Amino acid sequence: MPRYIRFRANIIRREMHRPGMGWSMHKKINETIRKCAEILRLLYRCSKRYIIFTFIQAIISVVLPFINLYYASRIIDDIAYPNVKQETILNSILWMVGINLALSLMRMVSEKIQNAESRYVEDRVQENIGCKAMSMDYAAMGQKESRDLLVKAEKGYHSNGGVAYLCNDLSTLFQNILSMIYSIYLCFNLFTIHVGKENGMLAYFLNSVWCFILLMIIIGGCVYLTYRNAKTLSKITYKFFEENVDSNNKFGYYTDFLYEYKYGKDIRIYGMQKLINKEFKENNRNIKSSDTKRVKASVKNSVHNRLINGAVEMITYLYVGLKAVMKLITVGQLTFYVGVFKKLVDSVNSFAKTIVWVQLRCRYIGNYVEFLKLPAREDGSISLNPKEEKLDFEFKNVSFRYPGANHKALSNVSIKFGAGEKIAIVGRNGSGKSTFVKLLCRFYEPTEGEIRLNGINIKDYKKEDYWRLISAVFQDFKLFSFTMAENITISDDGDHARAFKCLKRAGLSELIGKLEHGIDTLLFHGMGSGIELSGGESQKTAIARAIYKNAPLMVLDEPTSALDPIAEYDIYKKFTELSKDKLTIFISHRLSSCLFGDKILVFENGEIVESGKHETLLSRGGVYYDLWQAQAQYYIS
């Protein structure tokens, strides 16, 4: 036995006797089977046809090589014997060609169907990620653990072919198992050939069950060594993936910097090209350095496998060749059994490698499955009807701390407000204004205390119903690359006439009149050739969307920061007219907007330190007075 094989065999013996190895391996196998079953169920829900046609291809791939080997060996023997009629040879050739054509046609059709279904499966899986992300709590999606798992789910899925590739690997395993079983059965027939004493002791040994067992042990050793090598490589590959999650995030972030239109002005004015390129290259160097280790391990792995396979193939070819030299098998049978042994060795190697790839893909796609298992947003059971509800809110001893933060963003806030009121919220940056609004909108749950609507804790209401009560323009609002109308109505069949009225109220009638397609004009360039809106136009569009929803609670977080003073005054005046019976809460750093409010809440360090009307708060000479004077002096002077 070659020295290399002997050395590897010693490693096998040591590994087999390592304490706890059997339990650990058993646990890993069970875990892999569990994950495979979960993923196959997921795949089955996406497309039954994909699984069916994948396994049809596997069966054809198993059957076809053996049919070719059988007919090839038969044709060679028929040609070698002069007594065989040419018709017999021709019939064998025709049968071989006919079966090949039929099975190849079946494989081609099933492959076409599989490829079409594969694209559908990929789309469904990607859709599942998006739907899951949208179904989760806003607070949960803001946590680093959830975001990292989302990145791993997406990157891991795309880096290694995804669910469809795993199904292909399972199909390959199925194919390898069938090939190995049938190859071993055919190889066993090689040992049932009658051997007489006249053939000698070597022929007798070559035909014995001991020789068969020895060959199977050698091939089994080949399986284990190939598996070990593939396992080592898979660990290095997965380690590379794990180590580069942050680097891949940075890569995506820097790519946005380089390609996104919205960053262009700052990059040019501040000459940020050098800094971005430096960070970009440094990040790529880290990825490349890590990848170099993976490539070296892959090359080393390939060399080891080639040596192992070469040794096994040499032994099996020598065995079959000796049988042919001793006239125990024909030339055709020599061709047949060489092919069968080759198929057996290839199937064994493929099985060992594929099973590792299945384990590796299960780890990658396991992130996807784990992400889908994350809890959906917690929901209440009480229904709400926006048209019937009269809103009376109460914050009762509410405190809130952001996940991972050391201090409270809100501390012991208690306040009541209801339908028809106009509440202005003011305060310095970081005083808790936006946090107050986020809690009111149920993006986060209070750390302490509770928020009540009509005497009931808001978390007891169904979230979808609760959100129907709210129209909002957030400080970091988003418009989408849909038409202007779709951005307003959030639908492709909304009321265009009402949408136009809302845009007009928001001060965009002049812009709409200039557009060739009016409110059916596409925004931005994400979905085609759209238009770019200015900051003020974007803000007015977001305001029009809030007006269109016509909800009983309007939340406006810095809704006019991009508008000029005249446009701002006009917007607030219209809001006052539109929301006579509505509860309106607005945050603004321009304190002149507070004149439109019935009540002003002044926040400082997460607490409401003052509340009342404009004149009352000015007369107190407190925080509100200081804020007002700080702005008023620029207008007075």
Q: pLDDT (tens digit, 9 = 90+) per residue, 375-403?
A: 777 778 898 887 777 889 999 999 999 98
Give the chain's domains with CATH numbers. 3-244+296-373 (1.20.1560.10), 392-475+555-564+583-636 (3.40.50.300)
CA dist 634 and 628 (Å) reads: 11
Token readout for 157 is 């899925």
CA dist 601 and 592 (Å) reads: 14
CA dist 313 and 307 (Å) reads: 10
pLDDT score of 42: 77
Amino acid type, 66: F
CA dist 8 and 199 (Å) reads: 36
CA dist 517 and 501 (Å) reads: 16
Helices (H), ranges, 517-613? 535-549, 565-578
Q: In sequence order, which residues have a C-beta less than 8 Å from that of residue 214 and are 6 or more positions away?
A: none
What is the DSSP track for 115-154? HHHHHHHHHHHHHHHHHHHHHS-HHHHTSHHHHHHHHHHH
Q: Which letter does DSSP use for residue 289 in this model?
A: H
DSSP-based helix, strand, coil % in the chain, nearest 5:
70, 10, 20
Q: Which residue has the tokens 């004493």?
A: 197
Q: In sequence order, which residues have a C-beta less than 8 Å from that of residue 568 and are 6 or more positions away?
A: 560, 590, 593
Nearest in space to 54 (alpha carbons), one of 100, 121, 107, 119? 107
Which positions of the chain have pLDDT values less than 50? 1-23, 637
Token readout for 485 is 């109308």
pTM for this predicted structure: 0.64
Q: Which residue has the tokens 């806030």?
A: 413
CA 332 from centroid of its chain's CA atoms: 53
| Count of H-run helices and E-run strands, the chain | 22, 10
Please write the tens of the pLDDT for every residue from 161-207.
Answer: 567 777 788 888 888 889 988 888 887 777 766 665 555 667 667 77
